Structure 1
Amino acid sequence: MNREPRLLATCWTTAGAASPSGPLTRSPFTVADRIAAAAADGWSGFGLVHADLVEFRRTRPLGELRRLLDDHGVEHLELELIEDWGTDGERRTASDRVRRDVFDAAEAAGAATVKVGPDTSAPADPDRLAESFATLAAEAAEHGTRVALEFLPFAGTLRDLRAGIDLVTRVGHPAGGLCLDVWHVARPGTDYALIAESLPGEHLFAVELDDAAAEPVGTLFEDTAQRRLLPGQGSFDVPAFIAAVRATGFDGPWGVEMLSDRHRGLPLPQALREAREAALACFAEADHRAA
């Protein structure tokens, strides 16, 4: 029987009305209140997006973020999101500003992982992409952190698990790995067996749980940003996903990433409680199947 997992409330799980699809991308809740609520509900990890970091830094030094986490017994900090790191021009200039902010915050607050995303518009040259990711990973290491690439089925490149595995193993940098969100694995129909068969455990940095209906509603981005379900309450076999991830030897905190209009409308304590209880039920089912 496996010990109870350490759960990490990813940035959107505690963000209230904020959403990656806008119009509000920064949480209306203070970072201090979000950390306190997550700790009170038993979460051991906490995530923040760049917009929240900018607001926090406007009034408080970044070092206080680590103090807040320590005061509440929250061990793990995850930051996001660096996009367009393989592009150039104005998009790269904007990406580099976010990159500096997030890496500085990771170093000041002791974030073990920074999530990065692929270019969501056009495909990129594989050689250039690998070179850019290697540079990104090396820079992360200089700041005492590492980057976890989250492939996206609706992106212009790095759209599935195989593409993500190919990139991180080709680069082979110890600070460059993957973030596996069950939504991004299951929605395009990827067999979970590929995780244990092809993903070296040393390149698996972050895992996220959630769920969805059997068929997408609207575009893939609309479906993922507005209509996710609690883990175990949709069509994904989340316990089987957990088992596949465990087979890699993964021993980090398990993120729960809730993105839905319903979740955003809940009081924060209720939102955290529902997400945590649903995730733990999936772990209990995974343990039952393994027994």
Structure 2
Amino acid sequence: MTTSARKLTGDDLVLSHFTLALDHPLDDRISAAGAAGFAGIGLFAGQYGRLRSEGLDVEQVREWLDEASICIAEVEALSGWAAHAPTDDYFAFEHLVWEVVDTFESRYVQAIAPYEGTLHDAATRFGELCDRAAEHGAVVGLEFLPFTNLVSAADTLQIVQEADRPNGGVCVDIWHHARGVDDLDMIRAIPGELITGIQMSDGPRAPQLDDYKDDCLRNRLPPGTGEFGAVEFVSTLLDAGVDLPWSLEVCNDDNWGRPAAEPAQRAADGMRHVLSEARSPR
């Protein structure tokens, strides 16, 4: 029986879409996640749109999910919502996101920058996005990304607080924290109830490639196997009272060339070890 995406907690793991190759077959993605004990997967709406145009059988997908006892927990990723005048192409993609959310009762939608204008302008647009998401029963996480103009957790929190929507919050991604501002006090300053999404991985402190975006899509490691201080990061979130599923976004060239079961299992094992350490008495 499929797990309910909207009932996931901090005891659950989600296999992010980008831990496997962008167009990795959906049935194998689901099977690998289920075998590794994930409660759900993330789905890039662009892949869903392509599969739908090729005749995707939604009932077949539901059967795969039932067999693996998992759900489609999160949908990625909205970019363009914060323009002064979002394009028709943007709204077509957003419509696709809501279709996934409605079809599979997904919990979470990812939103990313850039934004146009001021942080106040971004807050206005984020509030409008959250209102549209609420019509579909979804929460939205706004992610700070050092390769956009929304670089820090502090600015992201400002947008979320000014928007002041019950289903809108901050997405904290350990990679963009460690490779960005790298200020754990900035993470501590986010009220736990305003964190709606968590993305976990690990990696070396020093960049491996000159291009930030390329590096973060090719060189991530399972949690606890790099230099990002994953246990302290997770402990900080637990201390804030965060009780959300942990999305494992371990983008890595090596992962994308291997059978899905291998990187899925390594990511899950790493995260479970980190959680065990973070939950141990200190």
Q: TM-score, normalised by structure 2?
A: 0.89
Match of 1:7 in 2: 13
Aligned counterparts of 1:63 and 1:167: Cα–Cα separation in 2: 38
Match of 1:201 in 2: 192
Q: TM-score, normalised by structure 1?
A: 0.87
- Unaligned runs of 5+ residues in structure 2 are 1-8
Match of 2:121 in 1: 128
Match of 1:272 in 2: 264
Aligned counterparts of 1:65 and 1:83: Cα–Cα separation in 2: 26
Distance 1:222 1:71, change over 3 A: same
**Alpha-carbon offset, residue 10 of structure 1:** 0.6
Match of 1:24 in 2: none
**Alpha-carbon offset, residue 38 of structure 1:** 0.7
2:87 match: secondary structure: helix
How many residues were matched structurally?
272
**Conserved? CA contact 1:62–1:105, under 8 Å:** no
Aligned counterparts of 1:272 and 1:136: Cα–Cα separation in 2: 31
Deviation track 1:237-264 (CA, whole Å, cap 9, x = no partner) reads: 0000000111221112101101111221
**Conserved? CA contact 1:181–1:207, under 8 Å:** yes
- Unaligned runs of 5+ residues in structure 1 are 19-26
Match of 1:139 in 2: 132
**What amino acid maps onto 2:113 in structure 1?**
P
**Alpha-carbon offset, residue 114 of structure 1:** 0.6
Distance 1:132 1:261, change over 3 A: same
Match of 1:22 in 2: none
**What amino acid maps onto 2:201 in structure 1?**
D
Residue from 168, 172, 179 that aligns with 2:160? 168
Higher mean C-alpha deviation, range 63-72 or range 106-115: 63-72
Aligned counterparts of 2:204 and 2:179: Cα–Cα separation in 1: 10
Aligned counterparts of 2:251 and 2:193: Cα–Cα separation in 1: 28
Distance 1:50 1:42, change over 3 A: same
**What amino acid maps onto 1:169 in structure 2?**
Q
Percent identity, please. Answer: 27
**Conserved? CA contact 2:178–2:205, under 8 Å:** no
1:262 equivalent to 2:254? Answer: yes
Match of 1:39 in 2: 34
**Alpha-carbon offset, residue 191 of structure 1:** 2.3
Aligned counterparts of 2:146 and 2:79: Cα–Cα separation in 1: 15
**Alpha-carbon offset, residue 65 of structure 1:** 4.1
**Alpha-carbon offset, residue 115 of structure 1:** 0.6
Aligned counterparts of 2:77 and 2:176: Cα–Cα separation in 1: 16
**Alpha-carbon offset, residue 236 of structure 1:** 0.3
